[in-house]
């Protein structure tokens, strides 16, 4: 097997993105790395794990991410197929580029696949958003998180609990850096550009119900297999959503996979209501505007738990656990699992009293990517010095 462990000063860092959550995380990193007077050489690799233009091209345009230097165009498939296909297509990229490192973000299949290829070839792995743990191994993302962290040389964390998780798993403390949250870098940069909700709903006949109603509206997202693949559980969740909509209108941007499951299971009638708006997937700026102006969010997304905390919007997480405990301990998030009574109680509290209030966690200030670049610049200087000594 060809290896690429020989380091050459000036080699680029390969920055990997593949799925919708990655785009918001990689955008500020690329922007800061390219900033003068001391840019760090990078190349952007897009695996194509998300290939729907509505979940891909729109994000590149709105977040002003440059076109990828390398596109793997993997597409959809099972976890095993997708991970293997990314590895097969990424390996020759590593061989041809001989990168200084491979930087991966988050916990999707692209993250673990590219980390595995790099580690096996002796290329340092850098993991942004390391150390998050749900301690639920039924989540594919949890497997990706744990394995990627074990392969990584530099681990950038978003919250203090991540450090404790990594230390317990045997990661050396000097490899862990608390830099903040790059997702929030993107949110703060784009907040003034968010699309107003009246524009998002401009084609809706009964939009006044959402724009001028006394209770405002609730934003709903559902996509995790644990919620949508179990027919009985999914039905119960949608029945709960229907009950919530009787108290506060619901806006539901539907993930393509979720829409397909609703059709397969014959559950359309549960979401067919004047008080439930079904939308196609939204761009980042549209979704940011929608959430910013909402009264409440119900979700199984990890990123929305973080964004609602910063925006001060009460969040109900429709999962049994969260890998982002700081959003519960300090933020506006409440994890309810699938407890309908608890959901309705929180909705009632939001409408009567405003719901859970929180505060912004430490270092979620829009400067995480600046800190990441600083650490990487120091690390590269040390490697350059070591390489010079070895060659001298």
Task: Tell me the domains of the chain and their CATH numbers.
Answer: 13-181+364-391 (3.40.50.2000), 197-353 (3.40.50.2000)
Compute CA distances 235 → 231, 255, 281, whole Å: 6, 16, 21
pLDDT of residue 2: 44
Active site residue 223: yes
Structure-model confidence comparison of residues 7 and 177, the more confident one: 177
> Once rounded to an integer, what is the mean pLDDT over residues 105-130?
97
The reported pLDDT for the residue numbered 208 is 85
Quickly list H helices, the chain: 20-33, 57-62, 79-97, 109-120, 140-151, 160-168, 182-190, 197-200, 208-211, 225-228, 231-247, 256-264, 268-271, 284-292, 302-311, 326-329, 340-353, 368-391
Which tokens sit at 2?
Answer: 């060809």
Q: Which range is least confidently modeled, 49-53, 286-290, 325-329?
A: 49-53
- Residue 206 is predicted with a pLDDT of 83
Q: Which of 50, 178, 223, 255 is catalytic?
A: 223
**pLDDT-based confidence at 195, cuts 50/70/90?**
very high
Q: Which of 87-96, 126-135, 349-358, 376-385 has the lowest mean pLDDT?
A: 376-385
* Per-residue pLDDT tens over the stretch 24-82: 999 999 999 999 999 999 999 999 876 555 556 677 788 888 889 999 988 878 889 99
Q: What is the pLDDT of residues 232-284, one digit of tens each?
A: 999 999 999 999 999 999 999 999 889 999 999 999 999 999 999 999 989 99
Q: What percent of the chain has pLDDT over 70?
A: 96
The predicted structure's pLDDT at residue 51: 58
The pLDDT of residue 7:
64
Q: What is the pLDDT of residue 52?
A: 58
The pTM of this model reads 0.94
| Arithmetic mean of pLDDT, 142-159 | 98
Average pLDDT for the chain:
93
pLDDT value at position 1?
41
pLDDT at 120 over 80: yes
d(CA 63, CA 59): 6
Q: Which of 257, 240, 250 is nearest to 216 (CA)?
A: 250
Q: Give the pLDDT mean for 307-320.
A: 98
At 203 the pLDDT is 87
3 pLDDT more than 70: no
14 closest CA partner among 125, 171, 140, 175 = 125
**End-to-end CA, the chain:** 28
pLDDT value, residue 374: 97
């Amino acid at each position: 097997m060809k290896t690429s462990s020989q380091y050459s000063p000036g080699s680029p860092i390969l920055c990997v993105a593949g799925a919708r959550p990655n785009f918001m995380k990689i955008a500020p990193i690329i922007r800061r790395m390219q900033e003068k007077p001391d840019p760090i050489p990078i190349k952007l690799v897009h695996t194509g794990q998300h290939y729907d233009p509505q979940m891909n091209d729109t994000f590149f345009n709105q977040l002003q991410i440059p076109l990828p230097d390398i596109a793997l165009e993997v597409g959809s498939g099972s976890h095993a197929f997708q991970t293997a296909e990314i590895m097969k297509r990424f390996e020759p990229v590593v061989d041809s580029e001989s990168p200084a490192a491979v930087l991966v973000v988050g916990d999707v299949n692209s993250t673990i696949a590219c980390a595995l290829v790099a580690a096996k070839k002796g290329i340092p792995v850098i993991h942004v958003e390391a150390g998050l743990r749900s301690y639920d191994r039924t989540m594919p993302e949890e497997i990706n998180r744990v394995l990627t962290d074990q392969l990584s040389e530099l681990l950038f964390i978003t919250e203090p609990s991540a450090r404790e998780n990594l230390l317990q798993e045997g990661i050396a403390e000097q490899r862990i850096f608390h830099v903040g949250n790059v997702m929030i870098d993107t949110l703060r940069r784009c907040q003034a550009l968010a699309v107003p909700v009246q524009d998002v709903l401009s084609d809706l006949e009964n939009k006044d119900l959402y724009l001028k109603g006394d209770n405002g509206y609730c934003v709903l997202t559902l996509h995790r297999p644990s919620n949508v693949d179990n027919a009985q559980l999914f039905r119960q969740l949608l029945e709960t959503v229907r009950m919530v909509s009787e108290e506060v209108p619901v806006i539901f941007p539907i993930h393509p996979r979720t829409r397909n499951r609703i059709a397969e299971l014959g559950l359309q009638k549960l979401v067919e209501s004047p008080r439930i708006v079904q939308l196609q997937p939204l761009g980042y700026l549209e979704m940011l505007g929608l959430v910013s102006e909402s009264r409440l969010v119900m979700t199984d997304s990890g990123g929305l738990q973080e964004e609602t905390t910063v925006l001060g919007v009460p969040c109900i997480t429709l999962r049994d656990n969260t890998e982002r405990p700081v959003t519960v301990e300090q933020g506006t998030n409440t994890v309810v699992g699938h407890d309908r009574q608890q959901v309705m109680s929180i909705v009632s509290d939001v409408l009567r009293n405003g719901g859970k209030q929180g505060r912004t966690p430490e270092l979620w200030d829009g400067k995480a990517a600046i800190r990441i670049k600083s650490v990487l610049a120091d690390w590269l200087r040390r490697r350059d010095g070591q390489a010079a000594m070895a060659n001298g």
